[in-house]
Structure 1
Amino acid sequence: MNLSFRDIEYFLTMAELGHMGRAAAAHGVTQSALSKSLSRLEKETGLTLFERSSRRIWLNASGRAFVDHARLLYAQYQDALQNTSALQTGAAGMLRIGATAITLDNIVAPALRWLMPKRPALKVSLTTGLSDALFEQVKHGDLDLVIAPIYGDSIADLDHKVLTQDTMKIVVSKHHPVFDTPTLHIAKLQAYGWIVPLVGSSARQALLQWLTEQGLNEPRVALEVPLVSRGILEIVASTDFISFAPESLLQRDMSPGVVALPIVLPQRRKLCLLSRKGAHWTPLMEGFRVAVDHAI
């Protein structure tokens, strides 16, 4: 099979946008050129990849199966280009880093403060977002490295190095009604509203797993948040809401009106440096890994 990386790039854009005209405009080519590219790709693979209507296109079953392979091929191609550039320019080049709101200030910024004076030609593209979205970007080759929390043993298709880890705590106001009785029963927590991570996030899944293991139903959600911050802890302090936070955050930003319940959660939050599984580490990536070690 003799696949063109340009044809793969066009295919991935068509799959993302679902429209020939918009995909052609994104690449500055004609729809005719895009159609010929798709024909070449379908001929090489022996597959019909899209269903078509007069207004849009969408991946069929074969296209959905092929798109993950195409993303991996394209990511490996981008790795090769970046590595070649790094070899040609030495310390120069572009490093694409992803960070969450927490890791940006606590790890990434200190690491860059240490690294960039030592690599004056280094350019950094910094993306912030939720950890699960960042994981997808590094899987697809849009980011080189991500520093973010994980709550399980690993993330599929990613390699990781654990930087720090801590336990998770259930937190409430120190005046919460759960303290009105001498014995704390976990089942009583379901009577109150919860401040929880966003739907689909790793942190939310970890919380639901723990509740399931306790034989409890999903919590009554009062507020969904991308992360628990000092401001969120202050809401907990002034309400009967219950939340879920890492112990390190409580040690640093614990509101005076918040206490952690004496409940042991098996899930641990691990702050990790993540890369695509099997990705070639360029000198810039290696340099950033050293900088992170200095920052923590």
Structure 2
Amino acid sequence: MQSRLLRSFLVVAEKSSITKAAEVLHISQPALTKSIMRLEKELGVALFERVPAGMRLTKYGEVLFHHAKVMENEYRHAISRIQELRDGRSGALRIGAGPVWLVSLLPPIVAELQKQQPGVAISLIGGVIDTLVPELINGELDLICVSLDFPNRSEIIKQKLFDIHHVLIADPSHPLASEVEVDALLIHKYPWMVLKSDYVGTERISSFFAANGLEPPKIAFETTSIHSLLQGVKSGSYIAHIPAQMLPLAHMTGLQEIKLKQPIWETTAGYAYRASVQLSEPMKAFMRLLQDINPATSSNLV
């Protein structure tokens, strides 16, 4: 199978249109249609179906799209590594980071890594499990530092580092701020603020309430930024959950912990990477630094 055919397939899938894809590829629509038909003939299945909005992937097309996207990313990374070796550069490292990692744990580690590997270009991308894991699988990230509370997959290697538990926070003006200790029924009455796309975290919160015979809480406000979340909670209207390691930052924002009678969410934190990836020297050095993390001292890092 030719790489040109896969490239044509990917662009059509991403644009959902032969017309738009042909413009991107700088070829005629008949030529692009012919390429797609040739690919479908080689595979013996239909990859697209025509719908009013354009081109939609079939179930076979969805499978090919996932694997072809990974292949495209891996090829791009291979070219980049070859160019770095040819030019005598140390390479790049793309790291996905959950909130506690992004804010509290990774900044000093990245700084130390660049002391050890001054030629390395590092990208630190924030997110949550539900956004970072797909980006890792697709080859858009080299490694992710997150809660490992997601299903095991054969193509991903997980390395556990420490346990974390989540706590509730609110503004001192919140009605629950004066309570010595609260239960599920009491906190269920108030609106919540959460990180957008954090479906795992929201599901764990729903499970907590379900275990106490209650419906999921009202999610009134979503945001993509942990700093925005803290400022939103500062308004006094919402409850939110954060890893305990982020309490110092919450305190600096003027928020306080709401004491619960029982844990709301406990999990393991660590890093994960693709089993197929060839570990570069910067990546190995970064992993070694991660092994020395002491989450008990993370309060000194915010």
TM-score normalized by structure 1? 0.79
Determine which of 260, 263, 267 is the counterpart of 1:262.
260
**Compared CA separation, residues 158 and 184, structure 1 to 2 (3 A):** same
CA contact (8 A) 1:91 1:283 kept: no
CA contact (8 A) 1:174 1:259 kept: no
CA distance in 1, matches of 2:236, 2:211: 27
Aligned-partner residue type, residue 242 of structure 1: I
Q: Please identify, of 161-170 and 81-90, the stretch whose mean Cα deviation from structure 2 is larger.
A: 81-90
SS of residue paired to 1:191: coil
Identity of aligned residues (%): 24
CA distance in 2, matches of 1:98, 1:146: 4
Q: How far apart are 1:44 and its partner, in Å?
A: 1.8
Matched ranges for 1:129-148 at <5 A: 129-148=127-146
Does the alignment pair 1:247 with 2:244?
Answer: yes
CA-based RMSD of the aligned residues comes to 3.5
- Gaps of at least 5 residues in structure 2 are 295-302
CA contact (8 A) 2:170 2:177 kept: no
SS of residue paired to 2:188: helix
Aligned-partner residue type, residue 138 of structure 1: L
Matched ranges for 1:270-281 at <5 A: 270-281=268-279
**Compared CA separation, residues 42 and 15, structure 1 to 2 (3 A):** same
**Compared CA separation, residues 156 and 24, structure 1 to 2 (3 A):** farther
CA contact (8 A) 2:84 2:91 kept: yes
CA distance in 2, matches of 1:99, 1:155: 19
Deviation sequence 1:126-184 (CA, Å, 0-9, x none): 44444422221221112222233444565785322234432111334556545888884
CA distance in 1, matches of 2:21, 2:84: 30
CA distance in 2, matches of 1:56, 1:160: 39
Q: How far apart are 1:49 and its partner, in Å?
A: 0.6
Aligned equivalent of 1:197: 195
Aligned-partner residue type, residue 98 of structure 1: G
Q: Please identify, of 109-118 and 153-162, the stretch whose mean Cα deviation from structure 2 is larger.
A: 153-162
Q: How far apart are 1:82 and its partner, in Å?
A: 5.3
TM-score normalized by structure 2? 0.77
CA contact (8 A) 1:172 1:261 kept: no
Matched ranges for 1:1-296 at <5 A: 3-52=1-50, 56-78=54-76, 80-81=78-79, 92-100=90-98, 102-152=100-150, 154=152, 157-173=155-171, 176-178=174-176, 184-199=182-197, 201-229=199-227, 232-233=229-230, 236=233, 239=236, 241-254=238-251, 258-265=256-263, 267-293=265-291
**Compared CA separation, residues 180 and 198, structure 1 to 2 (3 A):** same
**Compared CA separation, residues 291 and 11, structure 1 to 2 (3 A):** farther
CA distance in 2, matches of 1:104, 1:38: 42
Q: How far apart are 1:239 and its partner, in Å?
A: 2.7
Deviation sequence 1:165-208 (CA, Å, 0-9, x none): 32111334556545888884422322222223325532212212
Aligned-partner residue type, residue 24 of structure 2: A
CA contact (8 A) 2:182 2:258 kept: no
CA contact (8 A) 1:158 1:274 kept: yes
**Compared CA separation, residues 21 and 96, structure 1 to 2 (3 A):** farther
